[in-house]
Amino acid sequence: MLAAVFHAPNNIIVKQVPITRRQVMLKVSACAVCGYDARVFRNGHRKVRPPVILGHELCGEIQNDIIVGGDGGGMTMNAGSRVAVCPLIPCLHCHYCKIGDYNLCINLKEIGSSSDGGFAQYVTIPEQVIRIGGLVPVPDNLTDEEAALLEPLACCLNSFSRMLPVAKESSIVIIGDGPMGLIHLQLFKRLSHSRVAIVGKIPLRMEKARAMDADAVFAYSRETVAEVLDFTGDSCGAGVVVIATSNPVAFELATKVSARNSKINAFAGMPSGQTFLLDANWMHYNQISITGTFSSTPKLLGEATRIAAEKTIDLSAIVSHKFSLAEIEKAIDVTEKYHGLRAVINKF
Ligand SMILES: [Zn+2]
Ligand SMILES: [Zn+2]
């Protein structure tokens, strides 16, 4: 089969590789390029041992009949079914696996990182993924490209659900105008009907945020703190701040625009070793909650599929470019240059 194999930083080769035939294979229909893929391509990553095929936001067609969710609630999926994939490969033995927090597994492996992923014509699905119900059927009213974005939507749902309940009067501030920031924007506008401001940097993306009904869009500058506080009015700050950018300045900004009793979520990963200083009394007297969220679970992927199929969340607005597998480097290039939102590989 044809695959884009990551060999070393700045070295990805599209070539024929043998297919490892195991129990469950998917014919890939679409695989989106995440910022993570672009960073691995440039700098490598501690989780990635090349040669490996990257790509963890994918949708594909099952090649053989299978039973999914083996632990009791098994259901049959027929060959030809289109599915979204939860890329987690958990150990199934640790404390976190036992309570269903597979994203927190202490021995976690992931499709598209430590195991071959979706930038190829076919992908083998490890048994653990089947066992945890990690293949989710995709309804016909979602395109392949939208289905590839169900995984990032599930990650944003993980973040959104940890911020609940959102008080009616509170304002939401999302720092970051990338695909993840804009999916958060849609979640807070459409599920909790909140007033939402986006703090961004890229004019084209800020324009998209306005088109997705952001109540305010601010370009990051020295005035941002004052502008955001003004936006939040007499609540004197945001009730929820989501950090959806890996730019470390976002953390300080978050602490300056958050209201009393607010929640701050560190959704995005930061450069490794990044630390922050916090005033303990600021947290104490203002009752601030700071949390982090990472990845998602099969349950959240199912929930993401439901709200995308209902068109509560519009994933088509997040897809800005489509490329063939042979154009993988172009897709990575538009991703790291912020030329759009998500680039999706959809021709293999
Ligand atoms: Zn991703
Ligand atoms: Zn585990």
Give the closest ligand to the alpha carbon of residue 132.
2
Assess whether the region 2-137+314-347 and the region 155-292 belong to the same CATH fold. Answer: no
Give the closest ligand to the alpha carbon of residue 97.
2
- The length of the chain in residues reads 348
Q: What is the pLDDT of residues 133-162, one digit of tens each?
A: 999 999 999 999 999 999 999 999 999 999
The Å distance, Cα 196 to ligand 1 centre, comes to 23
The Å distance, Cα 87 to ligand 1 centre, comes to 10
> Going along the chain, which residue ranges are E strands?
2-8, 11-16, 25-33, 52-53, 57-62, 66-68, 75-77, 82-85, 88-89, 109-110, 122-124, 135-137, 171-175, 195-200, 216-219, 238-243, 258-266, 289-292, 319-324, 342-347
The pLDDT assigned to 65 comes to: 86
The Å distance, Cα 274 to ligand 2 centre, comes to 26
The Å distance, Cα 92 to ligand 1 centre, comes to 22
> Going along 192-335, which residue ranges are E strands?
195-200, 216-219, 238-243, 258-266, 289-292, 319-324
**Average predicted confidence (pLDDT) for the chain:** 94
Domain boundary assignment for the chain: 2-137+314-347, 155-292
The Å distance, Cα 155 to ligand 1 centre, comes to 8
User: Domain 2-137+314-347, what fold?
Assistant: Quinone Oxidoreductase; Chain A, domain 1 (3.90.180)
The Å distance, Cα 2 to ligand 1 centre, comes to 22
| Phi/psi at 3 (5° precision) | -145, 150
Give the closest ligand to the alpha carbon of residue 90.
2
Q: Please name which of 313, 32, 298 lies closest in space to residue 148, comparing C-alpha atoms.
A: 32
The Å distance, Cα 2 to ligand 2 centre, comes to 32
The Å distance, Cα 127 to ligand 2 centre, comes to 14
Ion ligand 2 contact residues with beta carbon within 5 A? 90-91, 94, 97, 105
Alpha-carbon gap, residue 106 to 271, rounded angstroms:
21
CB 35 within 8 A of CB 100: no
The Å distance, Cα 284 to ligand 2 centre, comes to 34
Q: What is the pLDDT of residues 291-317, one digit of tens each?
A: 999 999 999 999 999 999 999 999 999
**Residue 248: both structure tokens together:** 């470390």
The Å distance, Cα 80 to ligand 2 centre, comes to 30
The pLDDT assigned to 71 comes to: 55
- Range from 85-89, 189-193, 233-237 carrying the lowest mean pLDDT: 233-237
The Å distance, Cα 223 to ligand 1 centre, comes to 31
Give the closest ligand to the alpha carbon of residue 88.
2
Alpha-carbon gap, residue 213 to 139, rounded angstroms:
26
The Å distance, Cα 57 to ligand 2 centre, comes to 21
The pLDDT assigned to 21 comes to: 64
The pLDDT assigned to 72 comes to: 52
The Å distance, Cα 125 to ligand 2 centre, comes to 17
The Å distance, Cα 259 to ligand 1 centre, comes to 30
Q: Tell me 327's DSSP state.
A: G
User: Domain 155-292, what fold?
Assistant: Rossmann fold (3.40.50)
Alpha-carbon gap, residue 171 to 233, rounded angstroms:
9
| pLDDT level of residue 31 (50, 70, 90 thresholds) | very high
Measure the CA angle with vertex 157, ends 269 and 79; round to 5°.
Answer: 105
CB 131 within 8 A of CB 92: yes
